[in-house]
Structure 1
Amino acid sequence: MNRKEKRAAKENQSTRQLMGIAGITDYSLVTGHGRLVFFIIKPTNISVLSDISVAARIYALMNVLKGIAEIEMLCLNSRENFEDNKSFLRRRIEAEQNPVIRKLLQQDLANLDRMQVQMATAREFLIIIRLRDEKESDVLPYLSRIEKSLKDQGFTARRADEADIKRLLGVYYEQNVTTEKYEDYDGERWVILGE
């Protein structure tokens, strides 16, 4: 294929194809490099823990990590990112001649700062297991053992389902944390079947 044909082929790819995703199952994200299973770990506020408690949490995580060879980790900001909005407001403040409007813009900027501080702890920690050639009959017991291991070490964890995986992709690729339900196809919620 020449360059023009490659560009045309790329433009006709779906979003999933561009991201390298073959599909989403009830419990995994299917890619060309294996199926990815996500375990969502509820974060612990370590700023209020003693040094001994923090060391115990680190030791517990180390026990989980050494027990699972194919583990990967991911941390997402599951909150809005206001940096572009704040940059826009700073430029507007510098350019604005009217002092009343400038004061309103400064109040907007301060409000965004306050909102960002309030949501600073909205993080999601994920443990990812990459399944390659495992038999389907072995997968669910294996994943249950991992989930039990996490809980035995004191972590509040659960395996992500299909809706969680879609939300994680929305947060990771788009920083979209406001959508409640992700559609498989654009406009899917407006289609009425049987009419």
Structure 2
Amino acid sequence: MEVREIVTKKTEKQQTHEKASTRQLIGARAITDYSLITYGQGELVYFIVKPSNISVLSEASIGARIYALMTVLKGVAEFEMLCLNSRESFEDNKRFLRGRMEREENPMIRNILEKDQTHLDRIQVQMATAREFLIIIRLKEEKESEVFPYLSRIEKSLKEQGFTVKRADGEDIKRILAVYYEQNVTTECFEDYDGERWIILGD
């Protein structure tokens, strides 16, 4: 294969990538009231599990929680589990500040950078337990009439084992994606399309 052919194919691939929409790039085809429909990965339903503070639990209580989770996993083999930050991560910011401090020769500016670093460390400590635990069910060939009874059974099973759980709705899924992809936890209402809030129907 000639070099020219390789360059042409690479260019075509880059053009396809550049023309792809944001949804195509992240693999999210659509968000429904209860699921995320993906490109090629099926339809995903998320259950948000409220975490327990195991630092205040006894060894026996922790063992009971593990056994409860094992019981749930035995009953539903299709479970996938995911742990995400539910707040901003400042690791990139802190890495940048450390690099700047190493290169900075002015002691006054270096002192300011150190104070910024300390401030971010303080915020990080306050949010150390800001984790979100998700149980994912990947819907495959379930009939539409069977989906909600199936999901209700899973939710009931989790609650019977003592877990505080909620099935994520459309807004929850958009928030999860926003935190995962852009660390955005300040927006209260996520738009399906950029500028959607400025559209006035009938205007």
Percent pairwise identity: 71
Which amino acid counterpart does residue 99 of structure 1 have in structure 2?
P
2:75 corresponds to 1:67: yes
- Distance change >3 Å, CA 10–CA 101, structure 1 → 2: closer
TM-score (norm 1): 0.93
Match of 1:176 in 2: 184
Moved more, 167-176 or 22-31: 167-176
2:147 to 136, 139, 152: 139
Please show how residues 107-146 of structure 1 align to structure 2 within 5 Å. 107-146=115-154
Q: In the alignment, is the contact (CA less than 8 A) between 1:73 and 1:126 conserved in 2?
A: yes
Q: In the alignment, is the contact (CA less than 8 A) between 1:36 and 1:129 conserved in 2?
A: yes
Please show how residues 1-195 of structure 1 align to structure 2 within 5 Å. 2-31=9-38, 32-195=40-203
1:34 CA drift (Å): 1.7
Deviation string 1:84-105 (CA, Å, 9 cap, x unpaired) is 2112222332333333332222
SS in 2 for 1:134: coil
Aligned partners of 1:10, 1:101: CA distance in 2, in Å?
41
Which amino acid counterpart does residue 103 of structure 1 have in structure 2?
N
Structure 1, unmatched stretches of 5+, are none
Moved more, 88-97 or 156-165: 88-97
SS in 2 for 1:109: helix
Which amino acid counterpart does residue 49 of structure 2 have in structure 1?
I
1:137 CA drift (Å): 0.6
Moved more, 151-160 or 103-112: 103-112
Aligned partners of 2:22, 2:134: CA distance in 1, in Å?
23
Aligned partners of 1:5, 1:91: CA distance in 2, in Å?
37
Q: In the alignment, is the contact (CA less than 8 A) between 1:93 and 1:105 conserved in 2?
A: yes
Moved more, 74-83 or 152-161: 74-83
1:6 CA drift (Å): 3.3
